[in-house]
Amino acid sequence: MSFDILWFAFHILIFPGLLFIVVMGVLLMGINNKMVARMQNRVGPPILQPWYDFLKCCGKETIIPRRAQKFVFIGAPILGFAVLITAALFIPFGGSSVLSSTGDIVVILYLLTFCSVMSIVGAAASGSPYAGVGLSREMVAMIAYELPFVLVLLAVGKLAGSDSAQGVTFSLATITEWQTAHLPVICHISMIPAAIAMLFVIPCEIGMHPFDIAEAETELCEGTLTEYSGAPLGVYKLTHCVKVYVMTALFTALFMGGITTGMVVVDVLIKILVCLVVTFLSMTLPHAVCARFKVEQVFKFYWTFVSALALISLVLVWIGL
């Protein structure tokens, strides 16, 4: 009994829980920065740079503006981080996930939304007009990527649920099982547009460079983060890193899950490799190549091009290809 609890605590805190998630997030973010730098023929920051940033923020003074609502201002980043870790625990990574339910895709979708909402609420509580504009943009970005995201999830759910009694699944465990039994989802031609759409959804969900309209430092003075300093800012930056892990791991679970060699270590290494590839394709490339989008460009891009890709997949799956 006590061993079970210890084992569960190990899962939550060490692997694939808190520690592993944070380390992975920091590494992926650092490697992403490095790759962007190399693509621009720069040396680039050290791979542990996000970690240094976090530590440095912890060492700074935390200023709470007079107009800010103190409790919400401090609580929002912390709650957002906790929610994101919880979402990460639903994602299987080389083995089964720590938590699972029959509809964990919907749960993950809403927990990710919750995390973004926390940054919005924190910004609103700071009382800064820059943050006000920033949160409005963040919300527009959310509306923009949510449509293709949902379409992708539905397409995968329909494909992977074809064996089950209901004909559809919202469960990541079922999707993984299905991929073990058949091929990984990405090997089906009908799902390739969905995978591309998902690659586009990832950077916007995270708020990476070409889509970081909410935190545009040059126009909006960091937007939602204008008034944040010290430890809460560090938590936001860490949340940002962890989101990289969550989104890439989600992509891996949805499209390339279920590949097992029987050894957990090898599985995890393969997954990390896949995560790196996904990071490169979805974040590094657009970051190195594009300048920041305008707000309405993001919106149009996601609701036309990306949504169309996802919709193609959904229709193809629906007619049984």
Partner 1 sequence: MTQLFDQFYNFVGTDINHFPIFAIVTLFLGAFIIAIVGKLNKTLRNVIVFIVTIIPFLLMLSLIKPIMIDGGVINYWMGNWAPVGEWAIGIGLEVDALSLFFGLIVTLAVFIVAIYSFTYMNRDSSLENYYTLFLMLSGALLGLVLTGDLFNIFVMIEIMTMTEVALTAFRVDYDGALEGAMKYMVVGSLGSSTVLVGIAMLYSQLHTLNLAQIAASLPSHQNAVTAAAFAFLFIGFASKAFLFPFHPLEADVNAVAPASISMIISGVITKCGVYAIIRICYILFQNIELPAVSISVTLLGAVSCFICVTMAFNQHNFRRLLAYHSISQIGYVIMAVGLGSMFGLEAGLFHAVNHTLFKGLLFLTAGAVQYATGSADLDKLGGLVKKMPQTCALFLIGAASISGLPPFNGFASKWMIYQSVFEKASETGNFVYVIVVVVCLLCSVLTLASFIKVAQSVFFGQLNPEFNKPEVHEVPVVMQIPMWILAGLCVLFGVFPNFIQKYFLTPAATAAFNVTNYIDTMLGQGTAAKAGIQQTEIGTVSSIGCWQPVSWLWLLLIITCAVCLIAVLGSNDNKKHATALNAEEKVSDLVGVKQSGAGRLNNVAADASLKGVASDHLLSDQELIIISRDRTIEDEVLAGEDPKYENFFSGEKSEFSQVGGSDLFWGFKHDMRHYFNFQKDWHSGNVNDYTTYGVAAIAVTLVLAILFL
Partner 2 sequence: MFQKMIDDSMKRSPWIFHINAGSCNGCDIELVSVLTPRYDAERFGFRLTGSPRQADIVVVSGPITLQSRDRMIRTLAQVPEPFCVVSLGSCPRSGNVFKGSYAIDGPLEKWTHVDVSVGGCTPKPEAIIAALAKASAILEEKRKAMRQADKADKEKRS
Interacting positions 196-225 with partner 1 (CB under 8 A) = 221
Q: What residues between 84 and 123 interact with partner 1 by CB under 8 A?
A: 85-86, 89-90, 99, 101-103, 106-107, 109-111, 113-114, 117, 120-121
Question: Closest separation between CB of residue 110 and partner 2, Å?
Answer: 30
Q: What residues between 104 and 143 interact with partner 2 by CB under 8 A?
A: 130
Question: Closest separation between CB of residue 302 and partner 1, Å?
Answer: 12
Question: Closest separation between CB of residue 280 and partner 1, Å?
Answer: 29
Cα dist. 124→66, 111, 118, 274 in Å? Answer: 14, 20, 10, 37
- Reported residue count of the chain is 321
Question: Closest separation between CB of residue 246 and partner 1, Å?
Answer: 14
Cβ partners under 8 Å of residue 261, min gap 6: 267, 270
Q: What residues between 62 and 101 interact with partner 2 by CB under 8 A?
A: 62-63
Token pair for residue 63?
Answer: 């200023």
Q: How far apart are CA 28 and CA 33, in angstroms?
A: 9
Please report the beta strands in the chain, taking only residues with DSSP state E, as ranges in sequence order.
none
Q: Of 24-32, 94-102, 219-227, 293-301, which part binds partner 2 (CB under 8 A)? A: 219-227
Under the binding rule (CB under 8 A), the answer on residue 22 touching partner 1 is no
Under the binding rule (CB under 8 A), the answer on residue 289 touching partner 2 is no
Among the listed residues 304, 92, 306, the one whose alpha carbon sits nearest the alpha carbon of residue 205: 306
Q: How far apart are CA 320 and CA 79, in angstroms?
A: 42
In this structure, are residues 246 and 84 in contact, taking their beta carbons and an 8 Å threshold?
yes
Which of partner 1, partner 2, none does 82 bind, CB closer than 5 to 8 A by kind?
partner 1
Which of partner 1, partner 2, none does 152 bind, CB closer than 5 to 8 A by kind?
none
Q: How far apart are CA 58 and CA 126, in angstroms?
A: 19
Question: Closest separation between CB of residue 51 and partner 2, Å?
Answer: 8
Give the helix/strand (H/E) hosting 277: helix 264-279
Under the binding rule (CB under 8 A), the answer on residue 31 touching partner 1 is no
Question: Closest separation between CB of residue 296 and partner 1, Å?
Answer: 5
Which of partner 1, partner 2, none does 170 bind, CB closer than 5 to 8 A by kind?
partner 1
Torsion of CA 18, 145, 137, 45, to 10 degrees: 50
**Footprint of partner 2 (CB under 8 A):** 37, 40-46, 49, 51-53, 55-56, 58-63, 130, 216-218, 220-222, 225-230, 233
